[in-house]
Amino acid sequence: MLNNYFGIIKSSFKKGFVYKIDNLLSIVNRIIEVSVLIFIWKAIYGGTVSINGMNLETLIVYYAVAYSLNHIMTWGINEYIASSIKNGRINMELLYPIDYMKYFFCYKLGMVLRQVMIISMPTFIILSVLFHINLSFHFINILFFVLITFLSIIIIFFIELIFGLMTFYTTSDWGLQVLKKSLITILSGAIAPLEFFPTIIAKIMNILPFTDLIYSPTTTLLGMNSITGISIILIRQFIWILVLYSISKVIYNTAIKNITIYGG
């Protein structure tokens, strides 16, 4: 059975290497986005040393890390699931000798490994050179960053699964994809760190699972979270994993009983 899992991860990992131009454009797109944001914030800071407790140098590193993670969190399996429901491929996937959710989790892992190697890491390296970023992160922060990011991948997997499965009911996925990406972009801290949001809004965002996708791992790597703060993040992530798993399981069990195949 393990061979089946590794086979899915390997297949998903290799798949993206075919689209070389698409990968290159994704890197260029993120570099342009980050550069524009940094130039805007440089103008906002002007001669100011710090705004809301964050200096410009820290903010530049924040955006470099955040937008390196952004591709992993905004592009995922929900598009693939929606496509398989519409074209009837799901009819075959349900017959695979592996649980449907486990199949897509392995597919997501392969996708993440590919995205890290060919998009996230090159993006961060290029941004580091362009903006002279200091890469002297503390080892313990790197370890917690990896752990929180891994749990974030599980969280985003269930979010993507839920949005993908909603296509069972809507039969159209475009609006769902736009909604998912908008929620993640706005609420994850990709546009701006939580420090720049109104206090009440930041508190609400801190309760939701989206901040743990980008803001939490990024601020942890930058050493902005204490051990207590990191513990709270980890506890919150485990709670949201259980909640999102339960929701996705209910949606799947309900949807599969009323499945309508388009194209199959």
DSSP annotation of 212: G
pLDDT of 123 reads 86
Average pLDDT of the residues in 203-210: 91
Q: Which of 239, 224, 41 is nearest to 154 (CA)?
A: 239
What is the per-residue pLDDT across 154-165, written as a single tens digit (0 to 9) for each?
A: 999 999 888 888
Cα→Cα distances 138→59, 72, 134, 151, Å: 18, 23, 12, 20
Provide the token pair at 145.
């960053």
pLDDT of 89 reads 73
Residue of 120 and 91 predicted with greater confidence: 120
Q: In percent, how much of the chain has pLDDT > 70?
A: 92
State the Cα–Cα distance between residues 83 and 167, nearest whole angstrom.
Answer: 9
Residue of 52 and 260 predicted with greater confidence: 52
Residue 50 DSSP SS3? strand
pLDDT of residue 217 exceeding 90, the answer is: yes
State the Cα–Cα distance between residues 153 and 75, nearest whole angstrom.
Answer: 12
Residue 64 DSSP SS3? helix
State the Cα–Cα distance between residues 204 and 208, nearest whole angstrom.
Answer: 7
Residue of 251 and 79 predicted with greater confidence: 251
State the Cα–Cα distance between residues 224 and 234, nearest whole angstrom.
Answer: 15
Average pLDDT of the residues in 215-242: 95
pLDDT of 156 reads 93
pLDDT of residue 80 exceeding 50, the answer is: yes
Predicted model pTM = 0.88
Residue of 180 and 90 predicted with greater confidence: 180
pLDDT of 264 reads 46
Residue 199 DSSP SS3? helix
Average pLDDT, the chain: 85
pLDDT of 260 reads 54
Tell me if 221 sits within 8 A of 246, measured CB to CB. Answer: no
What is the per-residue pLDDT across 98-151, written as a single tens digit (0 to 9) for each?
A: 787 888 888 888 888 888 888 888 888 888 888 888 878 899 999 999 999 999
Average pLDDT of the residues in 3-32: 80
Q: Which of 227, 232, 56 is nearest to 141 (CA)?
A: 227
pLDDT of 152 reads 95
Residue 13: band (very low, low, confident or very high) from pLDDT cuts 50, 70, 90: confident
- Please tell me the least confidently modeled range out of 94-98, 123-127, 195-199, 225-229: 94-98
Residue of 139 and 76 predicted with greater confidence: 139
Residue of 219 and 21 predicted with greater confidence: 219
pLDDT of 98 reads 77
pLDDT of 172 reads 67
Average pLDDT of the residues in 74-92: 74
